[in-house]
Amino acid sequence: MARPTYRTRLEVLISNPAISPRDKDFAQSLLSYYERKGRLSAGRVKWVATLEERYSPENLAAGAAKNSKMLARLNALHARTEAASWAAGFVESLVGQVTADRRLSERQLQILKKIEAEHDDVAMAERQKWVESYKNDPTLRADALVVANYYLSTGYFRDTAKMITEDESFIPTFSQYNKMVKNKYAQKVLASHNSPAKYPAGSLVTFRANAPSGVRYINGAYLKRNVTLMVVETDAMPVTSAARGTKVYKLLPVGKAITLMVEERHIMKFRQPKKK
């Protein structure tokens, strides 16, 4: 069997869930040095051995046995947290710390108690109630989806928004939902999305006088401001602006074969010019 290289040994250390952030950073610096130089100095070699001893299966097993009560407490709490949540990640880090027989700080213990309070029997019952509401009320997911598409274009709430748009089974926490959907910007987006279309498919419209020139750009040129456009589709794309009249229309300029997307606030009903 081939002898493991320092790269392999350091990668094993870095991936160990019990390693402290400080030791992990140090191991990563050793790995970076090794990848640059192709070797380690004698002093660095000793540090690799020291870290391996510190996080050896024997020492971790001893730490787990010594701190079995705290580990049982942490594992029970972790089972109640939402997967991939901040709370779950924090508890996982404490599990690694305790397994390595490192004491928790007062601040860590304070946060631990706060997370425990947020995941007690009453809180868990409320969470389950919310889960059932989200599953049974289609408007909750519909609103979340509209707002999530908006936030994907802004960068805010990106992780939650991505989960909502990509995984139909994902249910945001009550707190996540309220923060993302109930704020004033999201409410403006929902108001635009849910408002009836002023211009139904098949109707003729034109650009408003104050429409930005950019919305008239198509196929390498700018359309005239008074061009006639036919509505091909309403709600053609997700709303990406937190303002009134931001429902998106797919429009076809009369005499053209290429469509463009324009927000409702930039168009108005086309009126036939009066004959002189």
State residue 2's pLDDT score: 64
Interval 53-98: pLDDT, tens: 999 999 999 999 999 999 999 999 999 998 778 899 999 999 999 9
**Domain residue ranges of the chain, discontinuous segments joined by +:** 6-55, 64-119, 134-194, 204-269
The pTM of the whole model exceeds 0.75: no
Residue 183, class by beta-carbon neighbours within 10 Å (0-12 exposed, 13-18 middle, 19+ buried)? middle
Minimal CA–CA distance to 199: which of 137, 248, 255, 126? 248
Interval 168-187: pLDDT, tens: 999 998 989 999 999 999 99
pLDDT class of 3 with cuts at 50, 70, 90: confident
Interatomic CA distance for residues 227 and 270, integer angstroms: 9
State residue 132's pLDDT score: 96
pLDDT surpasses 80 at 265: yes
